[in-house]
């Protein structure tokens, strides 16, 4: 397990390879025949392997992150964490500096709401409609980096963090089958296999997961009510070396994830108007469900010849969200029950190039275009109302359907100029154009300076102008006016369209290697925003709605340390942050008049603001002796608590004026692998000390329901090499 902080370049990406141990020996009918075959295959494959590695390095040179804050995790680090690659991707992200845990499986980087971009082997993965589900499985990852701070000009649109995933490749015709499970009725079988034939590499993986804690529990109890999930994920990677200078590759995946919406317990709703003959309903009996499906594919061509390296990619992502309400129950509890079906299809092209022009200059340039097409269909059941309250009439159903389209265009150019052996400046600009519910554009300058006064020390300072459109696929298309005179009427009819956020971002950082294997660092940042984008969950279905604060300000500091030497690995991260917004200027119908008036004249903390956040871990791998193959590890996360509504003694309230109690969750992992049969056993405990903590209490701006952290879980796994 490792969190490897980096300022620029692949400083610590491979530092944990030793934890994985030697490749397991493979059985054969004849040892001599196997050795001869292996030697022949190595001689045959060596040029291919060398070419593939060189092309990987060339691709990395195109996607340079000079001056950005970069934190990396390897596959070996993932395996050392509790759950290994059986865990959800968001749980891995929580081990990185400045990453805040939220409900619905979400996480936030540097106190920004979402605003994350995923890249797979350098190609952008468009956003989708998933809320609870994790589209990407850790099984496909060789290593990944979280890039944040003042990003170079080639990174845009989603700017809180870029999650740059590098898939597994260079396979030796083998794989693994595993079975994992334990607490919360968890059962997770999986299989993965990769190989090489001729000049082609391939890798495939598939897993299925069932458990009874698909979404965070809305009650403080150990076991959730009506919270089962069934999830399938599949992934495929294929690349072919065309020549010493050219390669073509394909990445594709599909996920189908079904969730029950957990029920609060012990509540009863009553109504003078019956629904299907019922005038009361117990919350324990609610039956709400949500399905999230995603399919994506990326095709990329890489050319590297002399001073020019070029990668051109095409991508597509289809996603769907289906929400099915408990009509009677939701009507009696909320006065509204909405069935929703949404789809989004995103298609795009991306090109990135690096040109080493000489004289200490490397010029990078590229462009991006994406087209989105969404469809939305809703059936909303509500009560008619009059001046006296609910009308003495049966519920009515209001239907609405529509389609929308969006286009995003971007272009950038930047120059990495090495002024001396110790000083490098990276400067450039990008232009972004967004045409959806509104037409907007911006020219954004970027500049970073990196100074290495001596071999162990690196300092950097940077500025970035950012342009981040609201997530198009989440913007509500329904008209609020049609619900006037019903129990589903909005708090107001003001519904200005969400706008793109525009930021001034300042970042400064320092990193030093204090001793062999021991690195420490610190990053500070300050951000000023106009039209700051946030998201909230304002009712069922569980679809987040974007809105804008007219003004925003965010500041923070990340401190980190990492140690890796011999069998030991340890890391620790601590972050302090504050994010505030003022004046709601879009999607106002979701807010009460009181909240709108308060926020119009006062900065408030945003709902996902957490003052202090931390993570840490330690692991030990036995390399020699009778216990060789044994790994022991522990990890933890800490949070000072997300925001909640503050209620004053006089009955007035301050939106997001309070925060929930601090918490810490400690996890434990142990595994043992027998190399000869290629069998590994693992034992994991999450929330070792059974801490009882609340992530959300159901109050605050855009917070829909309470959410509690998971109680202690015990899990076992077995895997066999193929």
Q: What is the DSSP string of 520-547?
A: EEEEEEEEEEEEEEEEE--SSS---EEE
Least confident of 537-541, 554-558, 627-631, 712-716: 537-541
pLDDT at 108 exceeding the cut of 60: yes
582-612 pLDDT, tens digit each: 999 998 888 888 899 999 999 999 999 999 9
Phi-psi category of residue 134: left, alpha or beta, with phi > 0 → left and psi -120 to 50 → alpha? beta
Q: Which pLDDT value is given to residue 346?
A: 95
- The rounded Cα 678 to chain-centroid distance in angstroms is 32
Q: Which pLDDT value is given to residue 92?
A: 92
Least confident of 30-34, 116-120, 234-238, 393-397: 30-34
Distance from C-alpha of 514 to C-alpha of 516, rounded to nearest angstrom:
7
Pairing of strands 246-260, 289-305: antiparallel
CB 658 within 8 A of CB 678: no
Q: If pLDDT is split at 50, 70 and 90, which confidence band does 542 have?
A: low
184-237 pLDDT, tens digit each: 999 999 999 999 888 899 999 999 999 999 999 999 999 999 999 999 999 999
367-419 pLDDT, tens digit each: 999 999 999 999 999 999 988 788 888 899 999 898 999 999 999 999 999 99
Q: Which pLDDT value is given to residue 10?
A: 30
pLDDT at 35 exceeding the cut of 80: no
Q: Which pLDDT value is given to residue 580?
A: 96
pLDDT at 543 exceeding the cut of 90: no
Distance from C-alpha of 432 to C-alpha of 410, rounded to nearest angstrom:
4
Distance from C-alpha of 34 to C-alpha of 26, rounded to nearest angstrom:
9
Q: Which pLDDT value is given to residue 24?
A: 33
Of 278, 132, 93, 211, residue with least CA distance to 705: 132
Least confident of 132-141, 342-351, 452-461, 524-533: 132-141
Confidence (pTM): 0.88
Hey, what domains does the chain have and what are their CATH numbers? 4-486+499-721 (2.40.170.20)
DSSP 486: B
CB 613 within 8 A of CB 575: yes
Q: Taking all residues of the chain, what is their mean pLDDT, rounded to a whole number? A: 88
Sign of the alpha-carbon torsion through 524, 667, 683, 219: negative
Percent of the chain with pLDDT over 90: 65
Q: Which pLDDT value is given to residue 649?
A: 84
pLDDT at 168 exceeding the cut of 90: no
587 Cβ neighbours under 8 A, 6+ residues apart:
476, 495, 496, 498, 545, 546, 547, 548
560-590 pLDDT, tens digit each: 999 988 899 999 999 999 999 999 999 888 8
191-200 long-range contacts, CB within 8 A, separation 24+: 192/139, 193/722, 194/168, 194/169, 194/237, 195/171, 196/45, 196/48, 196/170, 196/171, 196/172, 199/48, 199/240, 199/241, 199/242, 200/238, 200/239, 200/240, 200/241
Q: Which pLDDT value is given to residue 32?
A: 44
Question: What number is the average pLDDT over the span 3-26?
Answer: 33
pLDDT at 365 exceeding the cut of 90: yes
Distance from C-alpha of 354 to C-alpha of 363, rounded to nearest angstrom:
6
Q: Which pLDDT value is given to residue 9?
A: 34
306-348 pLDDT, tens digit each: 899 999 999 999 999 999 999 999 999 988 999 999 999 999 9
Q: Which pLDDT value is given to residue 424?
A: 94
Distance from C-alpha of 137 to C-alpha of 120, rounded to nearest angstrom:
12
414-450 pLDDT, tens digit each: 999 999 989 999 999 999 999 998 899 999 999 999 9
Residue 35: C-alpha distances to residues 26, 32, 40, 170, 675 (Å): 11, 5, 9, 20, 17
């Amino acid at each position: 397990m490792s969190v490897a902080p980096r300022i620029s370049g692949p400083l610590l990406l491979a530092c944990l390879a030793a934890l994985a141990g030697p490749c397991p020996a493979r059985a054969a009918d004849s040892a001599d025949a196997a050795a001869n075959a292996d030697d022949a295959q190595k001689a045959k494959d060596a040029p291919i392997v060398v070419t593939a590695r060189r092309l990987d390095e060339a691709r990395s040179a195109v996607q340079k992150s000079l001056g950005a804050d970069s934190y990396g995790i390897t596959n070996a680090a993932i395996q050392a964490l509790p759950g290994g690659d059986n865990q959800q991707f968001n749980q891995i992200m929580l081990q990185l500096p400045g990453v805040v845990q939220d409900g619905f499986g979400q996480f936030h980087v540097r106190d920004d709401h979402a605003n994350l971009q995923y890249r797979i082997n350098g190609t952008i993965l468009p956003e989708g409609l998933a809320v609870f589900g994790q589209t990407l499985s850790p099984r496909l990852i060789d290593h990944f980096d979280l890039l944040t701070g003042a990003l170079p000009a080639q990174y845009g649109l989603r700017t809180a963090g870029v999650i740059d995933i590098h898939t597994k490749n260079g396979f030796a015709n083998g794989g693994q089958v595993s079975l994992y499970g334990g607490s919360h009725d968890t059962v997770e079988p999986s299989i993965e296999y990769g190989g090489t034939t001729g000049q082609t590499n391939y890798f495939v993986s598939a897993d299925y997961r069932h458990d009874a804690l698909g979404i965070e529990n809305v009650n403080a109890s150990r076991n959730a009510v009506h919270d089962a999930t069934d999830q399938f994920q599949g992934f495929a990677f294929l690349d072919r070396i065309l020549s010493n200078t050219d390669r073509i590759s394909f990445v594709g995946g599909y996920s189908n994830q079904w969730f029950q919406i957990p029920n609060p317990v012990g509540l009863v709703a009553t109504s003078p108007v019956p629904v299907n003959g019922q005038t009361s309903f117990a919350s324990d009996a609610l039956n709400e469900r949500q399905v999230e499906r995603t399919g994506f594919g990326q095709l990329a061509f890489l050319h590297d010849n002399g001073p020019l390296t070029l990668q051109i990619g095409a991508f597509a992502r289809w996603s769907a969200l289906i929400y099915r309400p408990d009509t009677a129950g939701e009507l009696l509890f909320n006065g509204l029950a909405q069935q929703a079906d949404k789809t989004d299809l995103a298609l795009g092209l991306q090109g990135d190039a690096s040109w080493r022009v000489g004289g200490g200059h490397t010029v990078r340039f590229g462009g991006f275009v994406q087209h989105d097409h969404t469809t939305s269909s809703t059936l909303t059941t509500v009560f008619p109302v009059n001046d006296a309250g609910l009308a003495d009439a049966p519920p009515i159903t209001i239907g609405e359907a529509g389609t929308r389209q969006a286009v995003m265009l971007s272009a950038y150019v930047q120059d990495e100029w090495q002024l001396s052996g110790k000083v490098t400046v990276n400067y450039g600009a990008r232009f972004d154009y967004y045409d959806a519910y509104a037409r907007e554009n911006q020219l954004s300058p970027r500049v970073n300076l990196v100074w290495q006064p001596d071999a162990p020390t690196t300092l950097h300072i940077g500025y970035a102008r950012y342009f981040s459109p609201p997530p198009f696929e989440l913007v509500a298309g329904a008209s609020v006016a049609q619900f006037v005179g019903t129990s589903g009427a909005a708090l107001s009819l003001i519904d200005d369209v969400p706008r793109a956020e525009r930021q001034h971002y300042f970042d400064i950082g320092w990193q030093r290697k204090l001793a062999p294997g021991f690195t420490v660092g610190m990053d500070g940042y300050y951000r000023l925003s106009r039209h700051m984008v946030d998201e909230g969950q304002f009712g069922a279905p569980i679809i987040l709605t974007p809105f804008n604060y007219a003004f925003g300000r965010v500041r923070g500091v990340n401190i980190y340390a990492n140690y890796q030497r011999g069998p030991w690995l340890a890391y620790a991260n601590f972050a302090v942050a504050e994010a505030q917004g003022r004046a709601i200027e879009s999607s106002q119908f979701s807010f009460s008049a009181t909240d709108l008036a308060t926020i119009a004249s006062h900065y408030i903390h945003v709902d996902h603001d957490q003052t202090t956040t931390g993570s840490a871990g330690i692991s030990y791998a036995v390399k020699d002796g009778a216990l060789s193959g044994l790994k022991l590890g522990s990890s933890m996360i800490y949070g000072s608590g997300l925001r909640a509504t503050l209620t004053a003694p006089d009955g007035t309230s301050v939106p997001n004026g309070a925060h929930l109690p601090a918490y810490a969750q400690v996890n434990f992992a142990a595994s043992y692998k027998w190399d000869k049969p290629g069998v590994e056993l693992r034992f994991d405990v999450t929330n070792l000390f059974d801490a009882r903590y609340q992530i959300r209490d159901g109050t605050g701006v855009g917070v829909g329901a309470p959410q509690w952290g998971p109680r202690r879980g015990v899990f076992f796994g077995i895997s066999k090499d193929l």
